[in-house]
């Protein structure tokens, strides 16, 4: 496994550890663009789950575990970040689904569950937190084991809903600033970050980019730079991502890696979804219906040359 930069102290061999940022991440969830282009795509697969046994791998603060429980499922949610699980336990209690949801501190590469135990598995924006596969303490951890374990615990014919960020070379904005202003704002913060490896410094500066929902930054020639061409990234490379409401360290994986890892694990693709506005009229109509802080820029519009911010896979165990 490549040496991880000092700024990645928030990383562990098994994946990203948000630490004390867990509560903030839980509050932000997927942001205004996720509410429009992610959640409505995968949530229908969580409807009508009576008598279903569901595993939520990397359950985070538990919103989807609670949702599935309210749809009649018995849910096993796992996360190895204690800060996330604390939020998840609170959410389960507040939703009054204690009897339907069991939570555990565990690694998605070593699920504490039996073979063929579940009819549905969830992996909601988890893969971007996982480094390339490596061996730690005589067992494999990272990206591919996440899929191997997912397939192992699913029953034959069981399905997995896997979502991930995509279009890493795109800067997704609120669209309320001129492109040059946004570019200058990004460069100003990057100049101040310089070659710092201090996670708190990186976060504090990138968090100032209020008009940017999503952007990718990587270390090049000992300096952090904005990625505008996804081909510049390497599989498993440590990156920083500006997200709605926060900045987090992640690992880069493209869509091909997801489909290949799933296929290798014995999961076949049933559906793939990329959602975004088709026309500028559709985007403008949406922006008129929401507050300014939730508006979406032209990067979210196909007609304007934009690209989808998320991909949603539906896999089935063969």
DSSP 288-307: HTS-GGG---GGGBTTTT--
pLDDT, position 1? 33
pLDDT, position 24? 60
pLDDT, position 10? 40
- Cα 116 → chain centroid: 25
Residue 118: CB partners within 8 Å, gap ≥ 6? 53, 54, 55, 76, 153, 154, 155, 158
pTM for this prediction: 0.92
CA atoms of 212 and 296, how far apart (whole Å): 10
Local structure of 272: helix, strand or coil = strand
Percent of the chain with pLDDT over 70: 91
What are the chain's domains?
A: 6-166+253-273 (3.40.50.150)
Instruction: Find the range with the poorest average confidence among 6-10, 170-174, 216-220, 281-285.
Output: 6-10
pLDDT, tens digit (0-9, with 9 covering 90-100), for 227-262: 999 999 999 999 999 999 889 999 999 999 999 999
Exposure string for 178-203, b = 16+ CB within 10 A, e = fewer: eeeebeebbeebbeebeeeeebeebb
User: DSSP letters of 81-147?
Assistant: -HHHHHHHHHHHHHTT-TTTEEEEE--TTS-SS-TT-EEEEEEES-GGG-PSPEEETTEEESHHHHH
The CA–CA distances, whole Å, from 7 to 106, 130, 238, 239 equal 25, 16, 10, 10
CA atoms of 61 and 81, how far apart (whole Å): 10
- Cα-atom radius of gyration of the chain, to the nearest Å? 19
Using CB atoms within 10 A of its CB, is residue 214 exposed (0-12), middle (13-18) or buried (19+)? buried
Question: Mean of the pLDDT values across residues 49-72?
Answer: 96
User: Is the pLDDT confidence value at 46 over 90?
Assistant: yes
Q: How confident is the model at residue 27 (pLDDT cuts 50, 70, 90)?
A: low
CB 7 within 8 A of CB 198: yes
Q: How confident is the model at residue 28 (pLDDT cuts 50, 70, 90)?
A: low
């Amino acid at each position: 496994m490549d040496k991880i930069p000092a700024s990645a102290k928030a990383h562990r061999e098994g994946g990203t550890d948000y630490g004390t940022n867990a509560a903030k991440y839980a509050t932000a969830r997927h942001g205004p663009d996720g509410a429009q282009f992610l959640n409505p795509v995968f949530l229908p697969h969580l409807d009508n789950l009576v008598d279903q046994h569901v595993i939520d791998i990397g359950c985070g603060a538990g919103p989807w575990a609670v949702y599935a429980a309210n749809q009649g499922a018995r849910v096993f949610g796992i996360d190895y970040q204690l800060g996330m699980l604390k939020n998840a336990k609170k959410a389960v209690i507040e939703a009054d689904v204690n009897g339907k949801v069991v939570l555990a501190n565990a690694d998605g590469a070593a699920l504490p569950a039996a073979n063929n135990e579940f009819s549905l598995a969830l992996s909601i924006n988890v893969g971007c937190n996982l480094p390339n596969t490596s061996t730690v303490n005589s067992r494999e951890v990272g990206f591919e084991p996440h899929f191997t374990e997912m397939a192992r615990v699913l029953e034959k014919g069981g399905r997995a809903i896997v979502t991930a960020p995509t279009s890493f070379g795109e800067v997704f904005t609120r669209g309320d600033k001129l492109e040059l202003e946004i570019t200058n704002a990004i460069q100003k913060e990057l100049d101040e970050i310089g070659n710092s490896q201090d996670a708190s410094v990186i976060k504090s500066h990138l968090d100032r980019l209020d008009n940017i929902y999503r952007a990718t930054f990587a270390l090049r020639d000992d300096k952090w730079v904005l990625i505008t061409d996804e081909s510049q990234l390497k599989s498993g490379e440590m990156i920083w991502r500006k997200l709605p409401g926060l900045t987090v360290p992640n690992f880069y994986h493209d869509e091909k890696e997801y489909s290949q890892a799933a296929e290798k694990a014995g999961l076949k693709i049933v559906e793939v979804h990329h959602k975004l506005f088709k026309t500028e009229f559709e985007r403008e109509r949406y922006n008129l219906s929401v507050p300014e802080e939730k508006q979406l820029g032209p990067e979210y519009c196909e007609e304007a040359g934009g690209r989808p911010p998320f991909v949603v896979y539906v896999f089935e165990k063969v």
